[in-house]
Amino acid sequence: MAKGKNKKSGLAIAILAVLVVAGTYTANRYGLFDSKTWDKLLNKSTEVSGEAEVHFIDVGQGDCSLILSGDTAVLIDTGESENGEKILEYLYNHDVPDIDCFLLTHPHSDHMGAASYIIDNIDVEQIIIPKVTDDMTPTTKFYEKFLLSVQEKGLNITAAKPGMTVEVGEGEMEIISPVKDYSDLNNYSAASIFTYGDTSFMFTGDIEKKAEKDILKAGYLEDIDVLKVAHHGSNSSSCNDFLEAVKPDYAVIQCDGVSYNHPHEEAVERILEWTDEIYRTDMDGTVVFDVAEGSLSVDTEK
């Protein structure tokens, strides 16, 4: 009799397992829960033993971010060409001897103007940049210098594609865009999410409302702890649907506070509906987040 009970118990467990798998597939397929929610429901451990830092480096009207975890360094964008020496000095001051992954969100000078300088002066293992259509490929001087530096160093360029991942110490960075072709380079931006334990950071480049909604439709968005606000706080970005999907606890705007009147008041007001923890590099200088023992802390230069 006891043997029969064990068989029934085993059958019940098997049925339950099938239901859980089916439920997970259905929920993920139709966007009922994000991956973090399922991790909690299934008690999936996301504990990490080390520490991670995310630096939003002040480069004026431009973007530049640095992710450090374990022995891995990821540099995202550089700002304009005049920032090359500053970034290199910043890397050396933080004991970064080389760059494991160099993610360039899109070919505008305020995002990759100093890319050639960085490649020329520090070892880079991997370069990721979105592939744009031929008619959208820049013929600008900074972009030609970038391609020349890549060629002279014998490096390969990896095209940014949604779903591709990069290991960053105990964390992981996932590329989530571009999900389609666009007529605007801003929307080609290779947005990404860096997850470390239960803490997540989103880097958006200059994606505008159209790309934001396309990423949302593709199912790549989830609750984010720290959002690098798109396009320097322009009103052309940070739409309500996007912000509702990511629900940021912190927001960082990289701008000089003068060019193009960034950040725009309308965009800031939309962000304030979700968080009043907004940092601006024009006011706060470089902003550094530290993730350790499951807690998140922030420090500013100014």
> What confidence score (pLDDT) does residue 48 get?
77
The CATH superfamily holding the domain 51-300 is Ribonuclease Z/Hydroxyacylglutathione hydrolase-like (3.60.15.10)
> What confidence score (pLDDT) does residue 50 get?
83
> What confidence score (pLDDT) does residue 294 get?
84
Cα–Cα distance list, 288 to 52, 65, 110, 115 (Å): 10, 10, 21, 22
All residues at 6 or more sequence positions from 18 whose CB lies less than 8 Å from its CB, including other chains: none
* Ranges of the chain with pLDDT below 70: 1-47, 49
All residues at 6 or more sequence positions from 115 whose CB lies less than 8 Å from its CB, including other chains: 78, 102, 104, 142, 146, 149
- Opening angle at CA 128, ends 77 and 115, nearest 5: 40
> What confidence score (pLDDT) does residue 61 get?
97
> What confidence score (pLDDT) does residue 70 get?
95
> What confidence score (pLDDT) does residue 180 get?
96
What gap in Å lies between CA 105 and CA 76, rounded to an integer?
A: 7
**Reduced to 3 states, what is the DSSP secondary structure of residue 39?**
helix
User: 218: part of which helix (H) or strand (E)?
Assistant: helix 209-218
Pairing of strands 250-253, 278-280: parallel
> What confidence score (pLDDT) does residue 40 get?
41
Ordered by start, the domain boundaries in the chain are 51-300
